[in-house]
């Protein structure tokens, strides 16, 4: 498969860190840093911090804003949920979907992930669909089987020419927050599995032009190994994004020009 040129994307995932009191400070500190222009830089903040992040950004577009989750209908009797339409009010351009922490702690299923991804796409927000095998599955050699099933389920309701392009994040559960990053060559193989599932549902053109990024213990020391690996179009960064200066350094390392 010939992977088409796609701009590298780096997404900071704060997870459940930084409420509105701290979110603005992170954005301001990050924007004071020298930031590379040839990357898409995104920050995924908690829902309650979107307003503060937006206010600190003003009209600036770097970093772009992402949500960490989103529900599958525009409104309705769904206590506690947040819809894509609500996210749009903050200028959110991306949303994570199906992060393993949500699958593990909140029981999110492949079916829910598929519905959320489709609703986001219909609203014009790019779904960043997270997939990845856990440690037991990895040890049993089931990476490809797990990814194939998760990807196929997640794209069931998506359109290849939808309003916003889907992105996949390969995040092996055993590499998240453990300091045991997946070797780039193994990530490359996983990304190939993801692209072949996309190809099967759509076609090779869609597969070649869908960004697939890696996540799991990425930091400024190893980012280069990933962004220089064919088929790896960026990274989803948790722990190493909490310090705005460290994340800015990671961005500059990924794109030293």
Give the residue numbers annotated as catalytic, written as ranges. Answer: 99, 171
132 binds ligand PGA (CB under 6 A): no
Q: Measured at CB, which residue is nearest to ligand PGA?
A: 238
254 lies in the binding site for ligand PGA (CB under 6 A): no
| 186, 174 Cβ separation under 8 angstroms | no
Q: Which residues contact 129 (CB under 8 A, 6 or more apart)?
A: 97, 98, 113, 117, 151, 154, 155, 166, 167, 168, 169
Binding mask 169-208 for ligand PGA (x = CB under 6 A): --x----xx-------------------------------
Does residue 95 interact with ligand PGA by CB under 6 A? Answer: no
Minimum distance, C-beta of residue 26 to ligand PGA, in the bound complex (Å): 16
Which of 210, 217, 233, 255 touches ligand PGA by CB under 6 A?
A: 217
**Which residue(s) pair with 234 in the sheet?**
9
Residue 53 or 213 having the CB closest to ligand PGA: 213
Residues 9-28 that bind ligand PGA (CB under 6 A): 13
Instruction: Please report, as ranges, the residues that interact with ligand PGA according to CB under 6 A.
Output: 13, 171, 176-177, 215-218, 236-240
């Amino acid at each position: 498969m010939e992977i088409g040129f796609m701009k590298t994307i780096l997404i900071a995932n704060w997870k459940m860190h930084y409420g509105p009191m701290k979110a603005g400070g992170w954005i301001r500190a990050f924007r004071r840093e020298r930031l590379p222009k040839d990357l898409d830089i995104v920050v995924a903040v908690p829902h309650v911090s979107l307003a503060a992040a937006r206010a600190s950004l003003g009209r600036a577009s770097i970093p772009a804003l992402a949500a960490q989750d989103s529900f599958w209908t525009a409104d309705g009797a769904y206590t506690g949920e947040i819809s894509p339409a609500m996210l749009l009010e903050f200028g959110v351009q991306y949303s994570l979907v199906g992060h393993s922490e949500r699958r593990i702690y909140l029981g999110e299923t492949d079916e829910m992930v598929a519905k959320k991804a489709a609703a986001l796409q219909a609203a014009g927000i790019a779904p960043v669909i997270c997939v990845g095998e856990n440690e037991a599955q990895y040890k049993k050699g089931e990476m490809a089987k797990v990814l194939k099933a998760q990807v196929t389920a997640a794209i069931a309701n998506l359109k290849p020419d939808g309003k916003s392009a889907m992105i996949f994040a390969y995040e092996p559960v055993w590499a998240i927050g453990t300091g045991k990053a997946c070797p780039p060559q193994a990530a490359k193989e996983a990304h190939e599995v993801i692209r072949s599932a996309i190809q099967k549902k759509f076609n090779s053109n869609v597969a070649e032009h869908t960004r697939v990024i890696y996540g799991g213990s990425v930091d400024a020391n190893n980012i280069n190994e990933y962004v220089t690996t064919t088929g790896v179009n960026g990274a989803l960064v948790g722990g190493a994004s909490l310090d705005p200066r460290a994340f800015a350094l990671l961005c500059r390392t990924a794109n030293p020009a």
